[in-house]
């Protein structure tokens, strides 16, 4: 795994389709992002202020949890958890939905993140064989295997309503949002 070439900014692997590294080891997505935000410091300052206002509003509601964080075990959601718990002192509920393809490394990362924070965690898992049947069914019936996972994401959203959690903090951004196809 040491021979995997990665972007020097966001660490996306160069093996992903549409990821091309330049001579400085920076990927095409980071370069595109930099072109979109030429005055990055001004944009960053404004976005940070907006983000902190959202977090302050959630904290002022004085609920059991200030935010819900979908936790996949990847770098983005783990960093979102770290920010909310350690830097912003949010009361967090992390939720993991295992669609049957969660790797052992992701599970270990999730466990480490939960142990390192004061976060409560819900792990949702559906029997792998049932998920495989659902994937096959949806591919056959409507040529789309994403629907079972999207339903799992819907359950996560339902948990925010059930626990009256005012904010959902997702660990993704413009540089990698193309992977999820969700804006």
Q: How many CB atoms lie within 10 A of CB 85?
A: 21
Average pLDDT over residues 9-33: 87
Token pair for 92: 């967090």
- Judged against a pLDDT cut of 80, whether residue 87 lies above it is answered with yes
67, 108, 162 from 64: Cα distances, Å: 9, 27, 12
CA-to-CA separations, 20 to 26, 73, 156, in angstroms, rounded: 8, 25, 34
The secondary structure of 114-175, three-state, reads: HHHCCCEEEEEECCHHHHHHHHHHHHHHHCCCCHHHHHHHHHHHHHHHHCCCCEECCCCCCC
pLDDT at 69 over 90: yes
Residue, of 19 and 120, whose pLDDT is higher: 120
What pLDDT score does 154 carry? 75
Residue range 122-126: average pLDDT?
A: 89
For residue 176, pLDDT over 70 is answered with no
Q: What is the pLDDT of residues 43-61, one digit of tens each?
A: 778 888 999 999 999 999 9
Q: What is the pLDDT of residue 166?
A: 95
């Amino acid at each position: 795994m040491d021979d995997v070439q990665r972007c020097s900014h966001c660490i996306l692997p160069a093996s992903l389709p549409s990821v091309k590294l330049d001579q400085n080891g920076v990927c095409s997505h980071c370069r595109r992002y930099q072109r979109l935000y030429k005055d990055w410091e001004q944009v960053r300052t404004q976005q940070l202020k907006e983000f902190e206002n959202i977090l302050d509003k959630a904290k002022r509601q004085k609920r059991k949890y200030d935010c819900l964080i979908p936790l996949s075990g990847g770098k983005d959601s783990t960093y979102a958890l770290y920010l909310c718990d350690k830097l912003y002192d949010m009361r967090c509920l992390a939720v993991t939905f295992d669609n049957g393809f969660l790797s052992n490394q992701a599970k270990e990362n999730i466990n480490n993140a939960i142990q390192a924070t004061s976060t409560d965690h819900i792990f949702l898992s559906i029997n792998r064989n049932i998920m495989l049947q659902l994937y096959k069914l949806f591919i056959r019936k409507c040529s789309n295997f994403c629907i079972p996972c999207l339903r799992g994401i819907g359950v996560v959203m339902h948990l925010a309503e059930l626990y009256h959690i005012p904010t959902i903090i997702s660990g993704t951004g413009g540089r990698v949002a193309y992977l999820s196809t969700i804006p």
